[in-house]
Structure 1
């Protein structure tokens, strides 16, 4: 009886708070869409008279399944070979990764392969250690980073380089989608479109706060200014950390979104693996400025707020929830269309359920006292 009375006493305040959260998120989605329409920067850039010398770096650890697709796309890249260097690293793999790299490298003078030596796990994570060693062998004035599970469009290098030349940025973050091979993969893809759409909008405001290691350009000058991956603090999100360090040195950072630089990555196969990936990403998210944390908190807080309103007012609550799905879906659809991608509209409802489950399970898993497993190495 006392519990019920307590709930009745607090209900007006709780209901008002829930309404504010729901309205806030819907308004946020409306603003995001508006800025995407009216404040979108393409950074196409003019074709230079002489292309700069670039180095593409691709680290691999147990990637025998993904490497053939990646290397096939790399072989199709449209860039002058006399200005192109490719460095492929085998990060102590236990499968056929090195054999695949050796076979592909034959008779390609612009391609170099190297075996990565084990670093100090307290100073750098495995990927940062691999990239630090690979960059140390590079000759290009522009460094392009991608992963062994990514497929690149032929125009990838030229589009990233043109954007850098136009903007004179120290960091150019590209755009990556998830191969839509299943419903679970398409849901992960929606998650990427939503998150990267927010990154793009905020970046075009002039407040870039992150980068993405599977589709990224860093000038050699900016890289050396921060001491490279060896010069930044230990992080499980080395791309975020080096992007932040370069920004703090005064270099510009931009986000390029187009069909010309759209890479495609493979989806996570199982829910447990997805949570492990998200736990690693959460380490980076916790280092974001307060404004970003508030945006992410609003996304997460929406679900208990709307469920509470549906409980109190079923018809009105469900109507508002559907409206939120529509506004969020419009933003995601609009952002994806900037790269020529056409999403399945019916997936937006499934995505809402997926996002509800993953948002809260990620928070629980992040605070769960366990180490982070990444490519067979444990951190934390």
Structure 2
């Protein structure tokens, strides 16, 4: 039986430092019989991004590189580039990733396993960071904990979120919503696409396994990244805003217990330790990242402070600067 073709779409803006890592991981992919193409779109970069992707594509039959003009389509930023690449794609499935990602070698068959159910329109993988420092380990644990909870919720058909650095959609689902061209602009274009496909009646899969685990680099500014996510959540009306906002209140609640209800402080903190401990043991075992368990005591302390800082920073006035653009 002939397997469907895969198109991997990657928008790049000023990514000359990250490109070699990404492209090397693409060269290491084991497609398991799937034919794939890689479409690289340069988003008005001011460094050597264009040169690097054109050099890469010139030496590989499966890759094509494009310099996407600013006046292409009616979208902006990354969504404009992805809309352009989707029009060039020949695959029956569109895979999305980012320049700061290192893909797992079994990424393609792992993501395609998520489409086993007939009506599935979108599949989400998982993304973490290599624990090269305590800071990277804690940020990775924070996000992987969230993704594991979303994976569990997906078991009862509760949709979580899209992730533009590790996501795949069927071309049929993409075309059914008119693609990125038909979506309102969002600074979280991945979630906008995810939500539109689900709202159209397609199913989804939220994976959580080693073969779908991609590794990203730490963001230049952790707080700006989280502010962008939350602002995009407000724009799109994501239900995830509710638990996200409640998280930011956990540290003030513990402080309030200390001053006004000391008898509740220890049980509340113990509950946090138990819940995070159980979740972390389960997900680290599932993706074979048990070495992260050594950071668990620090993680329990880090998390409330991280959430609180995000809650303080997000409402501050001012535009969000991301990839050299202001939103």
Query: What TM-score do the two structures reach when normalised by structure 2?
Result: 0.92
Partner of 2:289: 341
Residue 62 of structure 1, aligned match among 2, 11, 14: 14
- Taking the TM superposition and a 5 Å limit, the aligned residue runs for 1:168-187 are 168-187=119-138
Aligned pair count reads: 326
> Which protein has greater RCO, CA pairs closer than 8 Å, 6+ apart?
1
- Could you say if the C-alpha distance between residues 277 and 173 of structure 1 is closer, same or farther in structure 2, counting changes exceeding 3 Å? same
1:297 aligns with 2:250: no
Secondary structure of 1:165 counterpart: coil
C-alpha separation in 2, matches of 1:345 and 1:79: 32
1:230 aligns with 2:178: no
> Which sections of structure 2, spanning at least 5 residues, go unmatched?
none
**Which deviates more from structure 2 when the two are superposed, residues 172-181 or residues 237-246?**
172-181
1:103 aligns with 2:103: no
1:267 aligns with 2:218: yes
**Alpha-carbon distance, 1:102 to partner:** 2.2
1:73 aligns with 2:21: no
C-alpha separation in 2, matches of 1:314 and 1:209: 36
Structure (1 or 2) with the larger CA radius of gyration: 1
**Alpha-carbon distance, 1:266 to partner:** 0.6
Partner deviation per Cα, 1:298-353 (whole Å, 9 max, x = no partner) = 32222222222223455762454144123213213312322222143342332234
C-alpha separation in 2, matches of 1:113 and 1:255: 30
**Alpha-carbon distance, 1:373 to partner:** 0.5
Secondary structure of 1:164 counterpart: coil
Secondary structure of 1:154 counterpart: coil
Partner deviation per Cα, 1:118-152 (whole Å, 9 max, x = no partner) = 1489x534111110111111000100011111111
1:159 aligns with 2:110: yes
Secondary structure of 1:136 counterpart: helix
Partner of 1:217: 168
Partner deviation per Cα, 1:59-86 (whole Å, 9 max, x = no partner) = 1111111111111110111126882111
C-alpha separation in 2, matches of 1:325 and 1:360: 17
**Which deviates more from structure 2 when the two are superposed, residues 98-107 or residues 307-316?**
307-316
- Taking the TM superposition and a 5 Å limit, the aligned residue runs for 1:248-327 are 248-269=199-220, 273-286=221-234, 287-290=236-239, 292-312=240-260, 314=262, 317-318=265-266, 320-327=268-275
Residue 310 of structure 2, aligned match among 358, 362, 365: 362
**Alpha-carbon distance, 1:242 to partner:** 0.9
C-alpha separation in 1, matches of 2:166 and 2:69: 24
Partner deviation per Cα, 1:245-276 (whole Å, 9 max, x = no partner) = 1111111111111111111111124xxx1111
Secondary structure of 2:66 counterpart: strand
- Taking the TM superposition and a 5 Å limit, the aligned residue runs for 1:8-27 are none
Partner of 2:38: 86
Query: What TM-score do the two structures reach when normalised by structure 1?
Result: 0.80
**Which deviates more from structure 2 when the two are superposed, residues 251-260 or residues 201-210?**
201-210
**Which deviates more from structure 2 when the two are superposed, residues 317-326 or residues 144-153?**
317-326
C-alpha separation in 1, matches of 2:273 and 2:72: 46
- Could you say if the C-alpha distance between residues 112 and 275 of structure 1 is closer, same or farther in structure 2, counting changes exceeding 3 Å? same
C-alpha separation in 1, matches of 2:215 and 2:243: 26
> Which sections of structure 1, spanning at least 5 residues, go unmatched?
1-48
C-alpha separation in 1, matches of 2:124 and 2:21: 22
After superposition, the CA RMSD in angstroms is 2.2
Q: Which runs of 4+ in 1 moved over 6 A?
A: none
1:136 aligns with 2:84: no
Partner of 2:299: 351
Partner deviation per Cα, 1:196-223 (whole Å, 9 max, x = no partner) = 1221122221021421110001111111
Residue 245 of structure 1, aligned match among 184, 196, 199: 196
